[in-house]
Amino acid sequence: MVMWLFALLLLALPVPLSAESVTITADQWASPRSGESIIRFERLNKLVEAFDQSPDNQILIRHAEGESGTLWGEELRSWLVSLGIPSGRIVLNAGLGQSDAIIVETSP
């Protein structure tokens, strides 16, 4: 019985989808942007550092469906490319169910 409860508890725990994950809210993104301001997103900066450690990793930008979500995802990708990340290693995914945030992840 205890083993079954333990197994159910393990199944209920969240499993990380990637090595690193950062959520950027619409409020955070609403401030004026520049290359310097993008670098100041401390968690995003750490994600990029982790990304640089593995040449096989990609950056996955998960955004809301629709025009505004797509524009937000493409703008973030453009900033990352302008800061030196190869565009071929950045993937956009329009499957996020919330419109007030964007999730950036590294994945193998």
The model's pLDDT over 2-61, given as tens digits with 9 standing for 90+, comes to 444 333 333 333 334 445 788 988 888 887 777 777 777 788 888 888 888 888 889 999
Task: Please tell me the predicted confidence (pLDDT) of residue 13.
Answer: 36
Q: Which long-range contacts (CB under 8 A, 24 or more apart) does 88-92 make?
A: 89/51, 89/57, 89/58, 89/59, 90/58, 90/59, 90/61, 91/58, 91/59, 91/60, 91/61, 92/61, 92/63
Query: Is 67 part of a structural domain of the chain?
Result: yes
Query: Is 30 part of a structural domain of the chain?
Result: yes
Please give the tally of structural domains in the chain.
Answer: 1
Query: Is 88 part of a structural domain of the chain?
Result: yes
Q: Bridge partners of 24?
A: 102
CATH number at residue 95: 3.30.1330.60
Q: Which long-range contacts (CB under 8 A, 24 or more apart) does 66-72 make?
A: 66/94, 66/99, 68/99, 69/94, 69/96, 69/99, 69/102, 70/94, 72/29, 72/102
Task: Please tell me the predicted confidence (pLDDT) of residue 8.
Answer: 35
Record the tokens describing residue 46, joined without a space. Answer: 């750490």
The pLDDT confidence band at residue 64, using thresholds 50, 70 and 90, is very high
Query: Is 10 part of a structural domain of the chain?
Result: no
Query: Is 101 part of a structural domain of the chain?
Result: yes
Is it the case that residue 91 has pLDDT exceeding 90? yes
**pTM attached to this predicted model:** 0.75
Residues of the domain holding 93: 18-107
Dist. CA 30–CA 24, nearest whole Å: 10
Task: Please tell me the predicted confidence (pLDDT) of residue 104.
Answer: 93
